[in-house]
Amino acid sequence: MFIKNNISVAIVIIVSLVLLSCGTEQHEKDEAVTRANQMLSRMTLEEKIGQMSQLDPGFFGGEEQLKQAVRDGRCGSLLNYWGVEKVNEIQRIAVSESRLGIPLIIGRDVIHGYRTIFPIPLGMAASWNPEIVKEAFRISSVEASSQGIKWTFAPMLDITWDPRWGRIAEGCGEDPLLASAMARAMVEGIQGDDLTDPTALAACAKHYVGYGFAEAGRDYNTTYISEPMLRDVVLKPFKAASDAGALTFMSAFNDLNGVPASGNEFTLKQILRDEWGFRGLVVSDWASVTEMVFHGYAADDKDAAAKAINAGVDMEMASSSYFDNIKRLLEEKKITEAQVDGAVRNILTVKYRLGLFDNPYVNPEAEKKILDPAFLDHARKVARQSTVLLKNDGNALPLSENIGSVAVIGPLADAPRDQLGTWCFDGQGENSVTPLRAIRELLGEKRVNHVAGLKYSRDKSLEQFNAALAAARRSDAILFFGGEEWILSGEGQSRGEIDIPGAQGALIEALSATGKPLVVVIMAGRPLAIGNELQDADALLYAWHGGTMAGPALTDLIFGKESPSGKLPVTFVKGAGQIPFYHYRKNTGRPANEKAWTPFDSIPTENPQGSLGYKSFHLDYGYTPLLPFGYGLSYTTFDYSDLNLSSQVMGTSGSITVRAKVTNSGTMDAEEVVQLYIRDRVGSITRPVKELKGFRRISIKKGETVEVEFVINSTDLAFFNGKATLTEPGEFDVWMGPNSDEGLHSDFIIE
Q: Using CB under 6 A, list all residues that contact ligand GLC.
A: 109, 153, 206, 285-286, 491
**Distance of closest approach, residue 158 Cβ to ligand GLC, in angstroms:** 9
The alpha carbon torsion through 79, 81, 87, 92 (nearest 10 deg) reads -60
In terms of Cβ atoms closer than 10 Å to its own Cβ (0-12, 13-18, 19+), residue 277 is exposed
Nearer of residues 317 and 678 to ligand GLC, judged by Cβ: 317
Taking the complex as a whole, how short is the minimal distance between the CB of residue 193 and ligand GLC, in angstroms?
A: 25
Nearest-angstrom CA–CA distance, 519 and 552? 16
Q: Summarize the chain as % helix, strand, coil (round to 5).
A: 40, 20, 45
Q: Tell the smallest beta-carbon distance from residue 633 to ligand GLC (Å).
A: 34
By beta-carbon proximity to ligand GLC, the closer residue of 107 and 501 is 107
107: burial class by Cβ within 10 Å (0-12, 13-18, 19+)?
buried
Q: Residue of minimal CB distance from ligand GLC? A: 153
Nearest CB to ligand GLC, comparing residues 150 and 206: 206
CB of 277 to ligand GLC, least distance (A): 25
Q: How far is the CB of 207 from ligand GLC (least distance, A)?
A: 6
Rank residues 291 and 671 by Cβ distance to ligand GLC and give the closer one: 291
The catalytic residue among 285, 426, 536, 556 is 285
Cα 546 from chain centroid? Answer: 15
Whether 285 is a known active-site residue: answer yes
Closest distance to ligand GLC from the beta carbon of 159 (Å): 15
**Which amino acid is located at 701 in the chain?**
K
Using CA atoms, how far residue 237 sits from 276, 289, 438, 727, in Å, is 13, 24, 36, 20
Burial of 646 (0-12, 13-18, 19+ CB in 10 A): middle
Distances (CA, A) of 420 to 424, 435, 483, 572: 7, 13, 13, 22
Return the sign of the alpha-carbon dihedral for residues 395, 400, 404, 406. Answer: positive
Q: How far apart are CA 409 and CA 471, in angstroms?
A: 9
Q: How far is the CB of 79 from ligand GLC (least distance, A)?
A: 6
State the minimum distance, in angstroms, from the CB of residue 457 to ligand GLC.
Answer: 24
Residue closer to ligand GLC, measured from CB, 487 or 744: 487
Q: In what order do the strands lie in the sheet with 281-284?
A: 204-208, 248-251, 281-284
Nearer to ligand GLC, 295 or 690 (CB): 295
- Alpha-carbon gap, residue 360 to 356, rounded angstroms: 4
Please name the helix (run of DSSP H) or strand (run of DSSP E) that holds residue 15, with its range, or none. helix 2-29
Cβ closer to ligand GLC: 286 or 375? 286
Residue 291: alpha-carbon gap to chain centroid: 24
Identify the CA nearest to 223 among candidates 235, 210, 234.
210
Measured from the CB atom, the residue of 372 and 491 that comes closer to ligand GLC is 491
Answer whether 652's CB lies under 8 Å from 627's CB.
Answer: no
For residue 610, give every residue at least 6 positions away whose Cβ sits within 8 Å of its Cβ, in sequence order, or none: none
- H helices then E strands: how many in the chain? 21, 26
Nearer to ligand GLC, 153 or 165 (CB): 153
Classify 298 as helix, strand or coil.
Answer: coil
How many CA atoms does the CB half-sphere of 89 hold within 13 Å? 11
Least distance to ligand GLC, CB of residue 247, Å: 15
Tell me the catalytic residues: 285
